Structure 1
Amino acid sequence: MSNIKIVCDSLSDIPKELIEKYNIHVVPLSVIFEEKEYIDGIDITKEDFYKMLRQSDNLPKTSQVTYMSFKNVFEKYINEYKSVLYIAGSSNASGTYQSAVMAKNDTEGDIHTFDSLSLSIGSGCVVLSAARLAQEGKTINEIVNHLEKIKSNMSVLFTVDTLEYLQKGGRVSLAKATIGNMLNIKPILCIEAGNVKSLSQSRGKKQVVGKIIEIIKETYGDNLKDKQILIGCGDNNGDLENLMKKINEELHVDEIMIVNIGSCICAHTGPTVLGIACCDK
């Protein structure tokens, strides 16, 4: 057993089987929908959340993890492990990281906080790298140094089937969303320095998947056997299958991990989000 406990938050969409495999503790954010508060991944499943999104005209809001939640987690694990490493979803997207830093400063023991400056499958890549290294017996400093390297050389690309949710959230104007939906324009978004930014766009699902693969190839070439790859979607599994097919046709990969993107991200993108994250293992 590793003497380092890996902790993350629910901004990193780690599949349940990998949480269990690597003994990761996930601290959940909260989601407020129709004036009711849900604990992400506990009070509401991803599938139920997708349905609620489609049936409601209102956008949900997310609420950061509290100081006391982190204090309790850190105090629990620092008595069981030599070190605790908490890896956060981007501090630019949530105040959760700051809550963790405050709790760490008030807790005795070897506790480390790491800002992934990414989200969902992106921060998931960072968490899984740390968990794998911890199981291999690497020291806390070796793990953190490796995370700094992969953080600076990671690609995270997303697209959405409709601009409706980005418009509701104020990220796209009503005029742009209306015209974009009429012309079947699909945006390609990236995560840069912890923020979501527009990178490119294409017309139609087939073209946007091809453009995403093209961007990956421009960044890394077509041989990704030494890379860790996560792909994810909401309830649009057919789009995920198309992305997987294109990856297998055009890229050389060892393993692809598949993720259902959770409520903290889909609250802003809608349930038809599709993404790929790629970084060093």
Structure 2
Amino acid sequence: MSKVAIITDTNSGIMPADGEALGIKVIPTPFMIDGVEYLEGINLTQEDFFKKLADGADVSTSQPSPGALLELWDAMLKEYDEIVYIPLSSGLSSSCQTATMLASDDYEGKVFVVNNQRISVTMRQSVLDAIELRDKGMNGKEIKDKLEEVKFESSIYIMLDTLYYLKKGGRITPAAAALGTLLKLKPVLQIQGEKLDAFAKARTATQGKNIMINAMLSDFENRFGGIDAHDVHLSGAYSYDLEKANEFKGEVEAAFPGYEMHMDPLSLVVSCHIGPGALAIAASRKIHV
């Protein structure tokens, strides 16, 4: 039986120290902040990041360098027969395409890059699924194929607290941001597959949370086979406001009897574009072998 290593990056919400406890390797996501490179989970914490964001720092995201990636693969292949690498969705970053290209050169049959269109808590679940599949005896190719087979069996809904960062990143016009701020709109965004799309506009945070809960209830019924099936992982995420996140967690669990909601901070790559105060609900179908 092949000895399989699991590697991911911090866009999964799993930090390098957490990876050690799980028996996997986690690559820190690089950020350029006012011209200085920081590594998520190494010398950039959630608190540091949001403080810099609030101070008006110039923040941009990057991807792990090809050199660093190859160096890690080579080191891991001295101990393991195969590697399953789970990077950020190809629809949200070029890191997956870069890794796929690198793996096709000199690592064919040894490194399997998973492109399963996920980020944050649904990406985290893919990593946990990969560990379980490996422990059940699957090889690298079988794990990659299984994760990609169910890649669209997930949903994320995110409610923003502010339009400022979407405007700053050029994702909405200043006029639209000004109107939304004037009307105190709470946009709800959706991730199903590759892209982050607009889903709804709420006038209050309460309405926005209800929109997300009802959208997920609909997904449970129409995409995941029913709320009572207990065949789905239910998760939540937030940017910076843990008290608000825990309140939302209670509301979600009340709407989904029998489910316990796992809650994590949103990936800083997402937080960079939407700012603090965001709330998200997410789900992914459980994998059965």
TM-score by length of 2: 0.89
- What is the CA RMSD across the aligned residues, in angstroms? 2.1
Separation (CA, whole Å) in 1 of partners of 2:106 and 2:264:
33
> Structure 1 residue runs of 4+, over 4 Å off?
15-18
Which blocks of at least 5 consecutive residues in structure 1 are unaligned?
none
1:262 is matched with: 267
1:132 is aligned to 132
Question: Could you tell me the percent identity over the aligned residues?
Answer: 27
Residue identity in the other structure for 1:173: T
Q: Offset at 1:143?
A: 2.2
Match of 1:236 in 2: 241
User: How big is the shift at 1:145?
Assistant: 3.1
CA contact (8 A) 2:112 2:141 kept: no
Q: Is the 8 A contact 2:15 2:28 kept in 1?
A: no
Write the distance in 1 (CA, Å) between the matches of 2:76 and 2:245.
37
Q: Distance in 2 between matches of 1:177 and 1:74?
A: 44
Asked if the contact 2:253/2:259 (under 8 Å) is kept, the reply is: no
Name 1:276's counterpart in structure 2.
Answer: 281
Counterpart amino acid of 1:32?
M
Find the counterpart in structure 2 of residue 7 from structure 1: 7
What's the CA shift for 1:53? Answer: 1.0
Cα contact 1:22–1:132 (8 A) shared by 2:
no
Match of 1:75 in 2: 74
Q: Find the aligned partners of 2:105 and 2:149 in 1 and give their Cα distance.
A: 28
Which stretches in structure 2 are left out of the alignment for 5+ residues? 222-226
Inter-partner Cα distance in structure 2 for 1:137 and 1:6: 13
| Distance in structure 1 (CA, Å) of the matches to 2:275 and 2:22 | 29
C-alpha distance in 2 between matches for 1:224 and 1:61: 41
Q: Is the 8 A contact 2:16 2:42 kept in 1?
A: no
Q: Is the 8 A contact 2:85 2:113 kept in 1?
A: yes
**Structure 1 residue 165 displacement after superposition:** 0.6
For the residues of structure 2 that align with 1:59 and 1:177, how far apart are their CA atoms? 20
Q: Could you tell me how far apart the structure 1 residues matched to 2:21 and 2:258 are?
A: 22
Distance 1:173 1:231, change over 3 A: same
Shift of 1:199: 1.1
The DSSP-based 3-state class of the residue aligned with 2:252 is helix
Is 1:252 the counterpart of 2:252? The answer is no
Aligned position for 2:90: 91
Distance 1:47 1:223 in 2: 38
Change (3 A) 1:36 1:18: closer
Q: Closer, same or farther in 2 for the Cα pair 1:140/1:252, shift >3 Å? A: farther
Superposed, 1:128-277 pairs within 5 Å as 128-221=128-221, 222-223=227-228, 225-277=230-282
